[in-house]
Structure formats: C-alpha cells, structure tokens
Structure 1
C-alpha cells in the first residue's frame, strides 16, 4: 500500500510553521539530515534506483536496514543518508520530496532513484 507523505507529516519535519508553509518550503528542496531521519527512519521505502533496480527496504529507528534477504546500516552524514551493506563501499545520497510526496535520491545534483514511503509492516 502506498502512503504519500501528507501535509501533516511534513509539518512535523519542519517545526514552527504551518503545514502549507512546510510543504512549500520542503517540496523540491533537499532535506536536512534531521528531516531525512524524521521522514524515513521507522518507515518502509519502495522504489527503484538507476537502471530500474527495484528495492523495498525498512529503515528501523536505530538505522538498521532490513531488505528481502539482506540487511545493512544507514547513517546520516551532514544532509545525506548513507547506506552500508557490509561491503567496501558506503553510498550517500541527498533526499528531496517531489510534488507527489515521493522521495528522490540525489547524487551530484542528479536524481538516481525514487521511493514511496509507507508505514513499516
């Protein structure tokens, strides 16, 4: 089930402003590290990366990543979310919201993936 990010959810991310102002300030802009943590951690994200590589992952509140048959660790580095699946490489991406409440994974100012956020099962 797809659960788009609601205005109320975005308002929780950006404290001190109304829900409408929060949407206007957040959509299309990169999220801060704290906003990424509030929006994504504790939720499931399903989408695809470049080359249509589909994924479905749960990001636990402690940063643990749970996928189908694999796991990893997420961290926040500045205003990026980083992914460590136990190999030599750690990948970090900026995050922004599009107009539909979908997240976009950003690398060097290019969208390299997207995802729909839902409640973790």
Structure 2
C-alpha cells in the first residue's frame, strides 16, 4: 500500500468536524431546549444541570445566567461575563454542543423544569 493511500486511510479514522447540515437551526434549538432542562457535561467545565426559561434566564442548582440564540448558535452568559456561543446538534432528547474544536459537550433534554430551579 502506498504512503498516500495509508495516510488517506488514517485520515478517514480521525474525528471529522461537524457538517453544517448536521447542526440545528436557531428555530430547532429553540423548539428543543427552551422551556426545558439539559443535564450533561462539558469538556472544559464538567457536569451541569440547567433550566432554560423562555424569558432568557438560565437556572442551575446554585447559580444563574442568561441564554440567547444568535443565528444558528446558542449563547450562554454567567456572572456578568460575555456570552460564549455554540452550534448545536439535537437528536431526540440528546444534545451535543459544538465549538471550534468540535464536540465539546453533551447532554440530555429533560422536559420542563423537574428540579424547580
């Protein structure tokens, strides 16, 4: 097998960036997440459980923040810090937060606000 062919085979095994058609639209993000809770984990910060209120508030177990949807990205701000925005993949109750480095978090969408945050 030639070196070029080996490299091509190895490249096929590497994680691929999310394709635009895999990502949710702003409308699909809003329909799936707003008014619901997401329980999951981010690579950079660990586990979380957050309720995304229709008024733009984020409510967690001992903190709060603000969410917004800008284009086809969901943005989050906490403690007065600037918002960080993520592309989103939604598949049923599963959500994947996609950043510049690829998949950077996952979660499960829970209906409503079961923890009364």
Structure label with greater radius of gyration: 2
What residue in structure 1 maps to residue 36 of structure 2?
43
Matched, 1:53 2:50: no
Cα deviation 1:33-64 (Å, max 9, x = unaligned): 11101100000000000056000000011121
Structure 2, unaligned runs of 5 or more = 1-20
Partner secondary structure for residue 37 of structure 1: helix
Give the alignment's TM-score, normalised by structure 2: 0.72
What residue in structure 2 maps to residue 116 of structure 1?
108
CA distance in 1, matches of 2:44, 2:84: 16
Matched, 1:63 2:63: no
Structure 1, unaligned runs of 5 or more = 1-27
CA distance in 2, matches of 1:49, 1:109: 12
Matched, 1:93 2:86: yes
- Aligned to 2:96, which of 74, 91, 104? 104
Partner secondary structure for residue 22 of structure 2: coil
CA distance in 1, matches of 2:45, 2:80: 22
- 8 A contact 2:32–2:90 mirrored in 1: no
